[in-house]
Amino acid sequence: MNHCHRRPKPCGNGIAEILANIVRLQNIAEEREEREIGCLRNSLGSCNERFDLNTRPIEIFSDEDKKWCMPFGRDDEHKSDVFRVEKVCNGTATFRVLAPTGDPRFPYEKTNSFFTVSIDCLCCIRCLCDVHVPCL
């Protein structure tokens, strides 16, 4: 995606704060007793009983409420609509494309496909249940 339709965020950019919190949680990835729901959960793991969770996968939606889908691999044949936020810096976010595996224990695997986008281009994100992505 080369551009976006920017629109003012009335209360600052809450998406930036959520993404930064997700990065922080993924970096510490420690077990806590607190169990909340939604994007602002204080620890990884509230949807899942695993203790080695290291990723809060997300879906991204555009201004037109369309879910983003990005290619991974050497061709454009393989695409995914699930991402791992890797970095938030200076109004941009870098995401890793996660490939679906079909395995309920390890539903995603890492890819070497990344993209960086202005956070102002993100209309909405949806947090999925925390998972363990091998070899991160």
* pLDDT given at position 48: 52
* pLDDT given at position 121: 85
Average pLDDT over residues 72-101: 92
Residue with more model confidence, 43 or 97? 97
Average pLDDT over residues 27-32: 64
**CB-based contacts of 134, cutoff 8 Å, min separation 6:** 106, 109, 110
* pLDDT given at position 34: 47
User: Domain map of the chain by residue range?
Assistant: 14-127
Residue 32 has pLDDT above 90, yes or no: no
The 3 state secondary structure assigned to the chain is: CCCCCCCCCECECHHHHHHHHHHHHHHHCCCCCCCCCCCCCCCCCCCCCCCCCCECCEEEECCCCCECCEECCCCCCCEECCEEEEEEECCEEEEEEEEECCCCCCCEEEEEEEEEEEHHHCCEEEECCCECCCCC
* pLDDT given at position 62: 79
* pLDDT interval class at 68 (50, 70, 90): very high
Residue 98 has pLDDT above 90, yes or no: yes
Two tokens at 45?
């793991």
* pLDDT interval class at 43 (50, 70, 90): low
* pLDDT given at position 2: 42
